[in-house]
Structure 1
């Protein structure tokens, strides 16, 4: 089984935007007042993680249940049963790799996407 990558963190209660002297305001010019907003692109990644993870958990649980049942001799004791168990082992491995790829993709995109953006500049994200 694989360890899940870090999930994008939603806006926390009391979390504040970057300080006015941060590098972002320096890029806009000296003395420029910057109003920050939580990046909508980052929030979409948080939402996507929350939608995908339960679906992957459901798939994993269903496949694990079928695997456990198929290994029991009370269910199936024949050569075709052994083939079925081997197929389930392969499907579980594929699902683990699929899960890892999806969650890593979301996590990597979140790591490359700023949490806060200036209000008037749009919402930049990685690879734009």
Structure 2
């Protein structure tokens, strides 16, 4: 059993952008920076919200089938043990897959700024 990595933090109601530092105000022009929530970061939040229920549904489906297959009322044959071992392996692989997918999203979110100056291209963790 794995623990899910940290979920990308969605923008909270009433959350305000970062404050401008005094050093930024001393920069040439001294203009105040207007911040917007990074749309690339929001995509990662949305992706997490889409993926987790699907992975939970897959895991629940496999767990249900495995539970039914363990009952001797359903199947009482030597091949049933091999089938149950296969199902345990599928659940293990699904768990590893879940860990990999969620870790990739979490790592990308950790490398992507939540707030960006308005008018700027959204910074990304990796440029292709």
- TM-score, length of structure 2 as denominator length: 0.92
Of the structure 1 ranges 115-124 and 30-39, higher mean CA displacement relative to structure 2 is found in 30-39
Question: Which sections of structure 2, spanning at least 5 residues, go unmatched?
Answer: none
Runs of 4+ in 1 over 6 A off after TM superposition: none
The yes-or-no answer on 1:29 pairing with 2:27 is yes
Q: Which residue of 1 aligns with 2:13?
A: 13
Corresponding residue for 2:98? 99
Matches within 5 A, 1:50-69: 50-69=49-68
C-alpha separation in 2, matches of 1:55 and 1:120: 35
How far has the Cα of 1:29 moved from its partner?
A: 3.2
| TM-score for the superposition, normalised by structure 1 | 0.92
What RMSD in Å do the two structures reach over aligned CA positions? 1.7
Find the counterpart in structure 1 of residue 47 from structure 2.
Answer: 48
| Helix, strand or coil at the partner of 2:59 | helix
Q: Deviations over 1:13-59 (max 9, x none)?
A: 11100101177x47x93413211000000000000000000100000
Paired residues in the alignment total 126
What 5-or-longer segments of structure 1 have no aligned partner? none
**Matching residue of 2:72:** 73
Which residue of structure 1 lines up, in the alignment, with residue 89 of structure 2?
90
